[in-house]
């Protein structure tokens, strides 16, 4: 069975494969029910939504290219530690990908794949040098991250033929979560307009006025943006 664990940040802009697979990986999934005592009824369990999945494992960063190391792109140990610390400091989720492919020796069946692919936060990262080697042992824990956005709701009130008032609430369709970090500034490219820049970087072209105001761009200048010009983006 072939195993691989990949960690990536900002839609794959930064990523690395775990160089030494852990001997085991703990995946914790639990409910979040609450137990109450009722008079003459004993205990009842009020079922709630499940808790966020937790993943943890122990491994080590190798100080040399051992035969069992899983990747040809072995990095210096400080790079692994620096990336993990950096990702934790961003207060943004990363992506955890685990893949295990099992091959049938008799080739009677297709390969079976066990896969985990989810956004997570790094909850704990503890490491220590190994005496007598240049390796670094570590323990790392991840927790599933759920993207959330405020959903806009429209309330419409109508009157029925009988004179009664009827209220209807409709919710806007939730947008697909975007893991990419929004840039604080952007360079103008050929063919760009403020509307295009707002649509591409803020997700809403109608916010072009905010960019125009923030950068003190006149209406005349907005029609002739200079290629390479750096524009600040609103938060």
- The string of DSSP letters for the chain reads -EEEEEEEETTTTEEEE-SS--S-EEEE-----EEEEETTTEEEEE--PPPPPEEEEEEEE-SS--TT---S-PPPHHHHHHHHHHHHHTT--EEEEEEEEE--TTS-S--EEEEEEEEEEEEEEEEEEPTTSS-EEEEEEEEE-----PPPEEEEEEE-TTS-EEEEEEEPPPPPP--SPPPSEEE--TT--HHHHHHHHHS-GGGHHHHHHHTT--HHHHTTPPTT-EEE---
Of 68-72, 131-135, 136-140, 188-192, the poorest mean pLDDT is in 68-72
Give the global pTM. 0.61
Domain 182-235, CATH: 3.10.350.10
Are the C-beta atoms of 3 and 99 separated by less than 8 Å? yes
CB 76 within 8 A of CB 82: no
* The pLDDT value given to residue 35: 64
SS3 16: strand
pLDDT at 110 over 60: no
The pLDDT mean for the chain works out to 83
What are the φ/ψ torsions at residue 222 (nearest 5 degrees)?
A: -65, -30
Q: Locate tokens 């072009």: which residue? A: 208
Q: Does the structure show a pLDDT above 60 at 107? A: no
Sorting pLDDT into bands at 50, 70 and 90, what band is 204?
A: confident
Q: Which of 13, 135, 170, 163 is nearest to 65 (CA)?
A: 135
More confident residue, 35 or 216: 216
pLDDT tens digit string along 3-23? 889 999 988 888 999 999 999
Mean pLDDT to the nearest integer, 125-137: 93
Confidence at residue 61, expressed as pLDDT on a 0 to 100 scale: 96
Q: What is the pLDDT of residue 41?
A: 63
pLDDT of residue 128: 95
Burial string for 161-197 (b: 16+ CB within 10 Å, else e) reads: eeeeeeeeeeeeeeeeeebeeeeeebebeeebebbeb
What top-level class would CATH report for the domain 2-32+46-144? mainly beta
Q: How confident is the model at residue 183 (pLDDT cuts 50, 70, 90)?
A: low
CB atoms closer than 10 angstroms to residue 198:
21
Which residue do the tokens 């419409």 mark? Answer: 156
Q: Output the six-digit token pair for 196.
A: 């295009």
Q: Work out the average pLDDT over 160-171.
A: 70
Tokens (6 digits) for 193: 């307009």
Domain ranges of the chain: 2-32+46-144, 182-235
Both tokens of 188, joined, read 């103008």
């Amino acid at each position: 069975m072939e195993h691989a664990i990949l960690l990536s940040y900002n839609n794959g802009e930064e990523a690395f494969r775990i160089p030494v697979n852990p001997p085991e990986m703990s995946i914790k999934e639990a409910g979040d029910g609450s137990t109450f005592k009722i008079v003459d009824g004993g205990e009842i369990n009020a079922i709630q939504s499940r808790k966020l999945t937790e993943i943890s494992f122990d491994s080590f960063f190798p100080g040399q290219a051992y035969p069992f190391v899983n990747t040809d792109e072995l990095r210096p140990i400080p790079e692994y530690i620096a990336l993990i610390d950096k990702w934790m400091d961003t207060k943004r989720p990363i992506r955890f990908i685990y893949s295990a492919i099992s091959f049938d020796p008799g080739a009677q069946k297709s390969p079976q794949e066990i896969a985990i692919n989810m956004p997570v936060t790094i909850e704990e990262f503890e490491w220590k040098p190994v005496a007598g080697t240049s390796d670094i042992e570590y323990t790392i824990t991840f927790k599933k991250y759920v993207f959330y956005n405020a959903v806009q709701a429209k309330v419409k009130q109508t009157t029925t033929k009988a004179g009664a008032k009827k209220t209807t609430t409709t919710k806007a369709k939730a947008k697909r979560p975007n893991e990419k970090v929004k840039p604080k500034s952007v360079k103008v490219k050929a063919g760009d307009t403020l509307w295009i820049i707002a649509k591409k970087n803020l997700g809403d072209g109608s916010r072009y006025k905010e960019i125009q105001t923030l950068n003190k761009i006149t209406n005349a200048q907005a029609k002739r943006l200079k290629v390479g010009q750096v524009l600040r983006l609103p938060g």
